[in-house]
Structures are given as structure tokens and as C-alpha cells.
Structure 1
């Protein structure tokens, strides 16, 4: 937990250090309880986070309603060190900062194959190859078969997001302190605003067909249940990507004696988590002993029936939604 607790500090520290223009708002993060039965255990999470130095506190139902702009929740907790950013703008800004410090970035050159001859690895691309004594895979659910055992240790899941048109004056009544929120449902509901007053949310689909039409409709319906004053209009902005899920929902670090290192398993929390794990991965590549690393390396564990899991794991969503609806 201590490793994750410093993730937001590192993320916003990088933004400040390199002057990255990515709509950064370190205005806090809320986790509201979606049922009365979830209120007490959710609020108790604040105590756990304060034990590792996080600026966390329980939030009662009335205050939570004011800060969300909806009475649909039953209290919860806050992390005052959290916030939200534009992830794409952050990625571009971080790439520019790395290039300014001498890092060479090659776009449109996916590695198709990794092989090792003698003391060197060879990374083959459609246009050529690069040789090195060490290789780091930090490509999450997009790693392909570069390390087959690692691929079989995670389940790739497609996650989508959508955004409304700018809400004008209504935006001031939803998340009035410009915080971000994600609730306690198994089928997570989350939302934030961008700098132009759009409401951004998202989710997953059990069936991917017609996602660009169906997902915004689903999300708009959820948002209007929380915020009845939202206009009944389609959400015009839609995007998505794949995330790497692990069975224990925790990140994993893998390191081989031949110079291949991997971290995997952001489980949908890749922004701050990747920033927190970057120095750990650097230490692993430099050869720091396992016991001294912030995350202990483990060998990848292939999941039984991975072929089926990778294709049908999303079908658990209806069960999640049923469980959410049955909670007291």
C-alpha cells in the first residue's frame, strides 16, 4: 500500500517538473458507497490510508451529497491528494520531456519478435531491429506474444469512456469542487469533469458489438440516474482501450536472469500506478536484489483455460451488475 500511496505525488510531481499541459486538477478523489451496507466498510478505508501517510478521511452522507451533486450515495471516503488529468495529453507531454532529456522514441515501429543470441537481445520491427543486453516490456495488454508465459498470466479487458457536451452552468452543481469520483460497485461507476465542463464517465460491455453506440447510451442512462437535471442528449465523445487485469487485481513484476524485465497488471489504474512503479522497474533493471525492491519479482503464472478467459471474461459483467443490484 505504501508504494501505491505515493503514486499521485509522483504523477503530479512529473507534471509540475516538466510543465506538462494536461488539465491537471489535484482537487481530490472521492469513493462514495452505493448502498447503506457499504458505507461503514468504505469509510474505514480512510483509516487504512492514513496509516501510510495519505491525506484521507471519512465523508458522511450529507457532505458526500454536496460534493458529488447527487443524493444517490451513502457517504464514503476521500483522498485529498488525488485528482484527475487528461491522460492522452499527459502521455504526449511525458514523451516530449523524455525526448528533451535524450530518450529516442520510435513511433509506428511495433516489436514483432524478441530473440536472444549470446549476450544480446534482438527486438525485431517491420523496419529493422535493435540489439541490447536488457529489455523492458511495459506494454500492458498490448504486449502480444513477445513473452508468451507473461501473456497467459493476464486477462485483457476493453474499457470505454464517453463525455457529454459542455454542461454550462449545470457543471457547477455536479462535483462543484472539481473532484473525481468512483464508487463501490463491482461494475464500477466513475465520473469527473474536464476543463470545459464536460462530464466524463465510462464502463465496460459484456458484448462488444456496436460499442460506439451502446456504451455512450449506457453511460448516459447511468449519469441521468445520478444527476436528473442532465439533458437527455447523446454523449458525442467516445473512446476506449485495453487494460491488463490480473487475478489478484495487483500489479506484478517479473524479472529474468537473461535481462528481460516486465511489469504488468495496472487493472485500470495505470496512470498513478505506472508512475509509482517506474523507479521500482528501474531498480530491477539495474540489478537491485529482489528483497530490496519495492515490489517483489515473481515468475509469471499462466492462468488455466487462458484461451477461454481472454475471450469470455467480460461475460462476468452481468453477474457483477446483479450482485450490485442485490446489495443491501
Structure 2
């Protein structure tokens, strides 16, 4: 994955220079912001799907409700997605994530829209890149970066979905690799600066994504920086497929990512010991974008921007962070508070190589 030159060497140089200088801020939740618009079925369909099917392609979405397919809004309500990116950038984000968490065939199959995978990724990448360009035009001394998001999919290669048949799998490595490859090519062609495999609950799924990334880089003879972000699912301190933060790092470090981190499932308080573990062992940059606390009885997130920022400021003062942002429940207000809290604090320093002189 690392034997090719950079696809955008000038952009990579800007990103590396910024990481050396300060803690960079990632945006917050896309889904949380979409929910605030209270969209209905017609909003999700837009003009293109108003007649009950995709009018621009033979494949279709017939017989499926499309409400809830947030990734589709990159095509049917692009101005809404662009506005969310702009709000996060205005709040202080250095990096914004594409609206592509479910832009894989296996996830879009729920809506009968598998044929849109490349287009969803391509257009979402263009929206994120355009928002970054607009922000940079207003503040030329501060570059902004578009992260191409590669989500976990709704299937797991390591765990059976049937408790009565532990050997059963509803997907496999090669099926995931092929699916991810289509999404990755769309993200790259759309102009993202970085690829991020995020919310990883199954390391084998992530390895399939890494394999597909390697294939895409080989086909182009060039590469982009790659970020990897896992998910500690509960108080066990492990991913769904059973790994601690340290084991997760060991099993993924062969990819030589720009950054490894943790996101989702937990709030900052619960995530802290696992980020600390990662910060002690990772030979790359470390990221964290936790939820706004734990969900309440109504599956809502109550942690205020000030509460979350205070906890993440402590992460930064303890030398744990190179990149920080928010996941479920976070808004531009959270990102603004986090950006203010870590401003001026030094980024985490890389650990010395094993055997290096003190």
C-alpha cells in the first residue's frame, strides 16, 4: 500500500505540516445533523426518485421506502449535505467526512439501490471537497481536508448472525473486498484527501477494506493517506470481534496508516483508557471522535458541548491526541467547543522506536 507516490503530494505535505504543529479537529456527526431537518420520504426521494424508482438508471429502488437512507441525500438534497459540511468547517473543523457511511452495495441493498454505490461515493466526495475549497478560499493560511469515509457495512465476516449456527457467515472477505473497491474508487475519483476506514467492529471487514484500498492504489500507481478507526463496543474494552485496543493496533499496523484511533459506541469518559492504550503503542498519529456521552432511554445524547470539550481537553493535556472530533450526538456546537478547548495545546508526540536511545 505504501510503495507508490502520493496522489496529491502538495496536499499530503500540508496535512503532515499541520499535524506536526497542532491537534487537528475532525467534524461531528452527519446523521445527527440530518435528523434536525426532520426530512420525510419525499425529501429523501427528491425529483429523481419521485415516481418510485430511479429515473436515471435501470436499477431502482422499486418497492422500497427511502426515508432513512442518509447517504442518498448526497444525490437528492446535495445542498443540505453541503450546508452541514460548511457548518462544521465554520465551527473549526480541519477535516470533514464524506456522507458515505453506508455507501456500499451490502448496505444499499436494504433500499434496492446497490447500483448507486460508485455515484454515491463520487458525489459525496465532491461535496466534501468543494466545502473544503470554499473554506480555504476564506482562510488561505489554513488548509482543510476531505476524508473519504468507508463504513463497516451491516455484515460481519468474523461473527455469525445466527446464535444457533456459530459457523454461519452472511458475507465473506472477497465479497466485502469487491464491494469496498467500488466505493473506494468513487471516493478517490471525487477528490478526497484521505481515506478512513471507521467504526470498525470486525477487524476482518477492515482488512478486506485495506486489501481493496491496496488494489485501488496499485491500479493508479499512486496512493492517499489512510486512517483507521475502531470501535470499542462496551465496558468489556473490546471490539465486537473480541480485540482490545492494543490487539486491534497490532493487527492493523501492517498497513502503516497515517493515523489510528477510536470512535463511536462510547462517550469520551468511557473511551479514555482505550485511547490512552492506543497512544502508548501506536507508531502513527492517534485520533479520537467519541459520541456525546452514552444514549439515554430515548436513544438520545445529552452530553453538552462544554462537558464533552472539557473531557477531550484533558485527553489533549495528557498527550493522547493528534486528531479529535465527535461521533453520534455531536453538532457544530460540540465541534466549536472542542476546537476551542484543544487550541494551543501540543499534539501527541510519537513514541520512540523500540531500542532507541533515551
Normalised to the residue count of structure 2, the TM-score between the two structures is 0.24
Question: TM-score, with normalisation over the residues of structure 1?
Answer: 0.25
Which of the pair has more CA radius of gyration?
1
Name the one with the larger helix percent: 2
